[in-house]
Amino acid sequence: MKLKSYQVLIFLIVLSCSHLRVEAVGVNWGTSSSHPLPPAKVVELLKANKISKVKLFDANPNVLEALSGTGISVTVGIPNSMLKSLSSSKKVAKSWVHNNLTRYFSDGAGKVKIEYIAVGDEPFLQSYGQQFQPFIIDAVINIQTALVGANLANNVKVVVPCNSDAYISVTGLPSKGHFRPDLNKTMIELLTFLSKHHSPFFVNIYPFSIFHQNKNISLAFALFEPKAHSLNDSHKAYKNLFDVSHDTLVTSLSQLGFPDMDIVVGQIGWPTDGAINSTSSTAETFMKGLMSHLHSSSGTPLRPKKPPTETYIFSLLDEDQRSIANGYFERHWGVFTFDGQAKYHMDLGQGTRNLVNAQNVEYLPARWCVVNNNKELVNVTSKALEACSVADCSALSVGSSCFNMSWPGNISYAFNSYYQQHDQRAESCGFGGLGLITTVNPSMGNCRYNVQIQTSNSFSPSWLPFFCWRFVLVFLFSVHLLCASQENMVEIL
């Protein structure tokens, strides 16, 4: 059969397009918040910003119901705390799949588009030691068996999110990368499983943390800035920290016999508060550089023209209940504030020039708890420390948005944080008579005194009688004084 010239042209265009890779960008949606934005509002936020993929850390039914019928691809997480029981019992795995997946695959428009099950949350993290590692492989196999039994194996892939500390390079060069020796046996088993089921390797890369842990890395190199000095490795030039970490993984995979395994970046971002160099402007520079790099499809030196198949931004929203064991910045990874307001300008690559804020958010009344300057303030610092032992005072840490605020403004910030977290109950602004409720917003400059979201899921220890809550706070405060992380806050207050 003879093809006409225009048919040949169309054929060549289609053929060339078939080799183009479409790199999907999604977000992580965490719910470690005292007053979480309602799931329906979050879904509206995802839609408004044309975000088509979301990664969860559990299988919260309210969240999954809100995602029903949206067409948004979902990664459902299994917490580390469940790994032991899942590894020891096929029945437990079967029950988990039935309770958390099967009902969302029913016929009709209301189903959830579940794409991956993430077994564990960075279970190989070096700081965990051997706490979760022995359970991973059996848990993964049992979940896969349960998917087969539920006829879902063709719809959902099983993955294990790994922190970038799972692989190392003593010299800092990607060509010398390898998995940690203590992980080799487990990693070979995991990679064999992933390869068999055509699943990608999920890796969480944090240029912010790598930069802060390595004095030899410049901020410009971490932020994708063109002026940064390149790192040369075997005639390959690395222009940013992300490519270095990514290709160190590529080498590590190759060493174990999996050179072509697809890579998904499960978490990457830049915090906006809680540490030095964690500002909205710095985060904007990083995110714009990352998006430009991903959508250029240039790939990395070891995988040219082959960037990660998917990348999930960490995170969608700030979370005031996240652990601060690694630093106060952990509560400020969000592209949006806790109430869904964009922190900076960027394009997620979904056709929107700027981020769209959450609309019609319902807040608690416009009132705040501050220091009563008409009282004797001898014990006010200890009261503020009591508040911070329970509430979120991460913005007061060194280099943060409220760090340079003068006394007693920082005390008022601590009081208000506790007051808002406890739903503005009058007794939560007591502090031995040192607290005062006001309708005048005490926010100053970049330091924002929050008014919390009105939500039925609020953190509210209503079971604790008013006459004893202070004693509990004093106990918690005493515990915190023993922790090194609290020393910084003591100096500030």
Residue 262, classified by CB atoms within 10 Å of its CB into exposed (0-12), middle (13-18) or buried (19+), is middle
Residues with Cβ within 8 Å of 476's Cβ and at least 6 positions away in sequence, in order, are 386, 389, 390
Distance between CA atoms of 178 and 254, rounded to whole angstroms?
Answer: 9
Residue 74 pairs in a beta bridge with: 54, 114
CB 168 within 8 A of CB 178: yes
* Measured CA angle at 335 (ends 216, 122), to 5 deg: 60
Q: Select from 212, 206, 277, 187 the least CA-distant residue to 244.
A: 206
> Is residue 491 among the annotated active site residues?
no
Give me the catalytic one of 23, 44, 115, 122: 122
CB 177 within 8 A of CB 168: yes
* Measured CA angle at 370 (ends 367, 373), to 5 deg: 135
Residues with Cβ within 8 Å of 423's Cβ and at least 6 positions away in sequence, in order, are 364, 452, 458, 460
Q: Select from 28, 61, 60, 59 the least CA-distant residue to 46.
A: 28
Q: What residues are annotated to the active site?
A: 122
